[in-house]
């Protein structure tokens, strides 16, 4: 007999034959496992088989924490779902996150004041927040030779609304704070951005394209009030993909100015220019990192933004001085000056 109490509601967006749109949403009461939370939006997909497999002509399927589950009818799907949830629930709670190393994945649980995880044969890891736990896990797996760098260990957020895994959209970073992942999630009420800080999550609705900056300010002020950073604008946005930046940029207002600097590459100086935008509250400039992702810098005024970018570029020895970043007029498709043409010409041996 199933421990689950489960009901269904139809997805109003579903049309017959749509295999990529859930036909139903399952509402699951987990009190039989001692869990007080209720799953409200587990997607249930439906498809008809072109060629029946024995008596099976249709398939009902879902994913739970990344694991695909499917059966020939809803009753059988509930049975396998019940068994998997029984193995996933620990400490009378669902995992908060899942971490991936190669093809392997393990759950992370939120206990009072700490996150804990363990993989078979390994030690127990615990930390006050996911940013710190990720560092410890990555360093451990580097030490035992499972990965070569921290980027190979991925943290995914497990939504307790729909039991789906969500990768981070970007991270928030400061010199005194490990990278804080930002997860885009969704449930029956809409989409939101979530940033786990310490043992709590700060979230904002994704009602506007600029929701990331709303979350940035929320997290910045939270860390400032707790003495983790001195200024909310110490945070930078990291690892943002170019498509997401293009969408964000389209919702911002050009400020009419840019930050300009020269970087020596292959024996010659190349000019770089970062146009400045505003969301009405802050000034924003972007740079491409060595992996092709975007880093965003925010400030209250041009001097603060100029100083922040200059100090960062200087720390990477990309420029000779923090003051090498200059404020210039942003002119799209403006003709290049004679000086810039000379500076970007091939170096003479």
Binned at pLDDT 50, 70 and 90, residue 331 comes out as low
- The pLDDT of residue 340 is 41
pLDDT, tens digit (0-9, with 9 covering 90-100), for 120-143? 999 999 999 899 999 999 999 999
Query: In whole angstroms, what is the distance from residue 264 CA to residue 175 CA?
Result: 26
- The pLDDT of residue 150 is 92
- The pLDDT of residue 53 is 79
Binned at pLDDT 50, 70 and 90, residue 222 comes out as very high
Given a cut of 60, whether residue 341 has pLDDT beyond it is no
Tokens found for residue 220: 């910045």
Averaged pLDDT for residues 261-278: 89
- The pLDDT of residue 178 is 86
Given a cut of 60, whether residue 337 has pLDDT beyond it is no
CA torsion through residues 31, 32, 34, 35, sign: negative
- The pLDDT of residue 332 is 53
Binned at pLDDT 50, 70 and 90, residue 335 comes out as very low
Note the pTM of the prediction, 2 decimals: 0.85
pLDDT, tens digit (0-9, with 9 covering 90-100), for 313-329? 998 888 999 999 999 99
Binned at pLDDT 50, 70 and 90, residue 339 comes out as very low
């Amino acid at each position: 007999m199933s421990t689950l109490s489960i009901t269904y509601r139809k997805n109003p967006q579903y049309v017959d034959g749509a295999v990529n749109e859930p036909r139903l949403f399952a509402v699951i009461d987990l009190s039989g496992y001692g869990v007080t939370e209720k799953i409200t939006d587990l997607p249930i997909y439906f498809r008809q088989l072109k060629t029946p497999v024995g008596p099976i002509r249709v398939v009902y399927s879902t994913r739970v924490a990344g694991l695909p589950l499917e059966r020939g009818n809803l009753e059988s799907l509930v049975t396998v779902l019940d068994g998997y949830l029984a193995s996933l629930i620990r400490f009378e709670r669902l995992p908060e996150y899942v971490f991936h190393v190669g093809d392997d994945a393990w759950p992370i649980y939120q206990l009072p004041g700490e996150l804990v995880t363990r993989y078979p044969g390994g030690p127990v890891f615990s930390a006050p927040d996911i940013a710190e736990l990720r560092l410890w896990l990555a360093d451990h797996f580097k030490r035992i030779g499972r990965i070569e760098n921290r980027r190979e260990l991925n943290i995914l957020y497990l939504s307790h609304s729909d039991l789906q895994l969500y990768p981070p959209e970007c991270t928030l970073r400061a010199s005194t704070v490990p990278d804080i992942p930002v997860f885009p999630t969704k449930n029956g009420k809409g989409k939101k951005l979530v940033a786990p800080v310490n043992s709590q999550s700060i979230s904002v609705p994704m009602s506007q394209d600029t929701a990331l900056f709303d979350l940035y300010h929320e997290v910045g002020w939270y860390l400032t009030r707790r003495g983790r950073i001195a200024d909310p604008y110490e945070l930078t946005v990291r690892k943002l993909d170019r498509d997401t930046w293009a969408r964000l940029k389209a919702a911002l207002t050009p400020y009419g100015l840019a930050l300009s600097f020269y970087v020596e590459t292959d024996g010659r100086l190349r000019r770089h220019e970062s146009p400045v935008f505003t969301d009405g509250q802050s000034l924003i400039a972007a740079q491409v990192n060595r992996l092709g992702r975007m880093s965003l810098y925010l400030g209250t005024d041009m001097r603060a933004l100029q100083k922040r970018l200059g100090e960062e570029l200087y720390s990477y020895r990309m420029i000779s001085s923090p003051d090498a970043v200059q404020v210039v007029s942003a002119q799209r498709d403006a003709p290049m000056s004679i000086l810039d043409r000379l500076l970007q010409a091939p170096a003479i041996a």
